[in-house]
Amino acid sequence: MAQTLNVQLSIADGSGNLLFVMSSASYNRCMSERPLVGVVMGSKSDYEVLSAAVEILKTLGIAHEARVLSAHRTPDQLFEWVENVTAQGARVIIAGAGGAAHLAGVIAAKTLVPVLAVPIASTPLNGLDSLLAMVQMPKGVPVATLAIGKPGAANAALFAAEILALSDKELYLRLAAWRAARAQEVLEQTLP
């Protein structure tokens, strides 16, 4: 029988505060001991889409945590995670799901932290089912829904950054620089 080696890497600052924890034992990763953004997806295969959000959060230096939790298969663990991540200081949650796409709505029902939903194309309906499920939240339980797929995931991270930048001048400046760099990329394009 093959044995699995589980490795954990922890990095702390000079005061002993954990800055980074990663373990090979689980796909779920705590990117920061005190994440400002929680990124959650219904299955590991959704990470292909949600990685666009994670990369932007990393680029902008925003503490975050990425998890795989299902509204249908692991509801108790999902509720516990929502409670814990918000208690640790998360101020925005990005939730990506396909099919019935209940993840973002279930999270929004359990917290007052803004929830940004990313529909994922995982069925023959190419994400339209997920999009419609996410935008049809009942009055009183809002979910901000972005575009289907990687563009939506990237915009969810940027929207989260904008929310956080309302009270973080340094992040505001990093976000402004990121946007200016995108504008410069367009201006430098040439046609044949």
- What average pLDDT does the segment 35-64 reach? 97
Model confidence at 2, pLDDT cuts 50, 70, 90, reads very low
Give the model confidence (pLDDT) of 134-180 as tens digits. Answer: 999 999 999 999 999 999 999 999 999 999 999 999 999 999 999 99
Strands 92-98 and 144-145, how do they pair?
unpaired
* CA–CA distance, 31 with 14 (Å, rounded to integer): 18
pTM listed for this prediction = 0.83
**Contact indicator for 160, 92 with CB cutoff of 8 Å:** yes
- Residue 73 three-state SS: coil
The single-letter DSSP state of residue 44 is G
- What average pLDDT does the segment 49-57 reach? 98
**Contact indicator for 140, 108 with CB cutoff of 8 Å:** no
* Range list of H helices, 9-68: 47-59
Is 30 a residue whose pLDDT tops 90? no
The domains located in the chain, with CATH, are: 27-187 (3.40.50.1970)
- Residue 51 three-state SS: helix
* CA–CA distance, 103 with 41 (Å, rounded to integer): 8
